[in-house]
């Protein structure tokens, strides 16, 4: 199931918050160019697991390496992205995105006492559960059980998932003081707000002719400051980030197999089909016409 991002670069989650507010994903990377997901955020929590390959999970400005068997918990409204860095086939990477209200309603004492403090902790953007750490063995087992339940959907699976997530939150709450914290400076917080604004602008206007100044103005900063923000988060310039996103959209359109190269190049903001093809090959190593032949 592909990642779907709205015009604020927040992932669109398909679960019904009034029913069972959790969505299970798998095999997302197979549909993404270079098996790499875009930098995005969403208000819900996320848990993801490396199964067969090594993954680079970027959370804010940090890069966390997940080896097979490792899982990561990402807090809500935190910038993150994923890239597969080993293996010759796409990593299945099962993951769940869920609201804390799956454990209890947000007005309940349980939510206010045990879920909200975690959600509101800016110093806890993520937690890594290593497969070789004996202290994490039970949490990793619970995560695996959740994936199995959501995949098979046997009788009473919702209650099993709810109990498992309650146990995971219990572990986090009881070990809260021991968990590694990442205290963000005011500059880092401001930079995250700026990058979110600029990414939102790129997503909304990628099909138009936009300049570096346009991107910088969306966050009310100078062009040089915009460049520093993008370099610190993504290691590329704002214009390169724009081209990268345009190519990601083009890759998705190519997979739909209903558009011509000319239609795709125009829809994605490229000046011509030839320029689009050159950029596509430069970034992915193969021509757009080979997209259906190459899995990566």
Q: What percent of the chain has pLDDT over 70?
A: 92
Stronger pLDDT, 132 or 294, i.e. the higher one: 132
Say if residue 111 is exposed, middle or buried (CB neighbours under 10 Å; 0-12, 13-18, 19+).
middle
- Mean pLDDT over each residue of the chain, to the nearest integer: 91
Picking from 130, 156, 119, the residue whose alpha carbon sits closest to that of residue 64 is 130
What's the confidence (pLDDT) of residue 155? 96
Per-residue pLDDT tens digits for 104-129: 999 999 999 999 999 999 899 999 99
Tell me the pTM. 0.86
Residue 20: CB atoms within 10 A of its CB come to: 16
Give the mean model confidence (pLDDT) for residues 205-210: 95
How large is the greatest C-alpha to C-alpha distance in the chain, in angstroms? 60
The CATH number that domain 186-290 falls under is 1.10.10.60
Residue with tokens 């100078």: 222
What's the confidence (pLDDT) of residue 18? 60
In order of 35, 118, 269, the CA distances from 141 in angstroms are: 26, 21, 46
The phi-psi region of residue 60 (left if phi > 0; otherwise alpha if psi is between -120 and 50; otherwise beta) is left
Picking from 78, 87, 70, 72, the residue whose alpha carbon sits closest to that of residue 30 is 87
Residue 46 neighbours by CB under 8 Å, 6+ apart? 73, 74, 80, 95, 96, 97, 98
Long-range contacts, 144-152 (Cβ 8 Å, 24+): 144/49, 146/47, 146/96, 147/24, 147/26, 147/49, 147/94, 147/96, 150/22, 150/24, 150/96, 151/24, 151/26, 151/94
What residues does each domain of the chain span? Answer: 22-178, 186-290
Q: Categorize the per-residue pLDDT at 7 as very low, low, confident or very high, splitting at 50, 70 and 90.
A: very low
Give the mean model confidence (pLDDT) for residues 185-192: 87
**Cα–Cα distance measured from residue 29 to residue 37, given in angstroms and rounded to the nearest whole number:** 7
What's the confidence (pLDDT) of residue 292? 56
Return the CATH class of domain 22-178: mainly beta
Strand partners, 74: 46, 126
Residue with tokens 């909200």: 116
Per-residue pLDDT tens digits for 51-80: 999 999 999 999 999 999 999 999 999 999
Per-residue pLDDT tens digits for 76-98: 999 999 999 999 999 999 999 99
């Amino acid at each position: 199931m592909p990642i779907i991002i709205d015009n604020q670069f927040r992932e669109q989650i398909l679960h019904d918050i009034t029913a069972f507010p959790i969505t299970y994903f798998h095999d997302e990377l197979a549909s993404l160019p270079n098996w790499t997901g875009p930098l995005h955020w969403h208000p819900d929590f996320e848990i993801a697991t490396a199964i067969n390959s090594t993954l680079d999970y970027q959370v804010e400005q940090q890069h966390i390496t997940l080896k097979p068997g490792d899982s990561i918990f990402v807090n809500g409204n935190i910038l993150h992205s994923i890239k597969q860095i080993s293996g010759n086939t796409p990593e299945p990477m099962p993951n769940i995105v869920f609201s804390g209200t799956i454990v209890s309603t947000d007005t309940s004492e349980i939510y206010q006492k045990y879920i909200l403090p975690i959600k509101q902790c800016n110093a806890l953007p993520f937690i890594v559960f290593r497969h070789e750490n004996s202290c994490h063995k039970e949490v990793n087992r619970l995560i695996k059980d959740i994936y199995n339940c959501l995949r098979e959907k046997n009788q009473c699976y919702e209650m099993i998932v709810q109990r498992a997530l309650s146990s995971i939150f219990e572990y986090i709450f009881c070990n809260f003081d021991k968990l590694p914290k990442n205290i963000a400076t005011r500059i880092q917080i401001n930079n995250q707000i700026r990058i979110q604004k600029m990414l939102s602008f790129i997503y909304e206007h990628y099909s138009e002719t936009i300049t570096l100044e346009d991107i910088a103005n969306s966050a009310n900063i100078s062009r040089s400051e915009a460049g520093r923000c993008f370099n610190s988060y993504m290691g590329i310039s704002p214009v390169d980030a724009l081209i990268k996103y345009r190519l990601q959209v083009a890759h998705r359109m190519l997979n739909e197999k209903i558009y011509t190269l000319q239609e795709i190049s125009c829809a994605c903001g490229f000046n011509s089909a030839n320029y689009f093809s050159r950029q596509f090959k430069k970034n992915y190593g193969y021509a757009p016409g080979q997209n259906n032949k190459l899995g990566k």
